[in-house]
Amino acid sequence: MAEVIVVHTWNDDQKDKVMEFAKKVTDMAKSKKLPAGLKLLSMDLAENKNEAVCKWEVDSINHLLETAKTLGPTWNIDAFEVKETFKKGLF
């Protein structure tokens, strides 16, 4: 499994669609209906900025992005694998 950060950015006129997308994804995560191999760890929405950051544990980035495509996003999505280098309480 890999940890992946996904950054969503959108224009003001896309906000309603983005919020609908976010609600679908969080509802799926809460009800354990995400596809096997995908686990949403966190979702953060920026204050007063059209940006959101999600952290996932996935079997592959391609699987995550292909699944996201089925929900029809029309905004920019950038995904990349990350390696944790610091976590409070470990040091």
Average pLDDT, the chain: 94
Average pLDDT of the residues in 18-37: 95
Domain presence at residue 30: yes
Q: Which domain holds residue 26?
A: 2-82
Q: For the chain, report the end-to-end CA distance as a whole number of angstroms.
A: 24
Q: How many domains does the chain have?
A: 1
Residue 88 domain-assigned? no
CATH code of residue 11: 3.30.70.1060
**Residue 87 belongs to some domain of the structure:** no
> What is the Cα–Cα distance from 31 to 75, expressed in whole angstroms?
26
Phi, psi angle pair for 25, to nearest 5°: -65, -45
What's the pLDDT at 90? 62
In a domain, 47, yes or no: yes
In a domain, 90, yes or no: no
Q: What is the mean pLDDT of residues 56-69?
A: 96
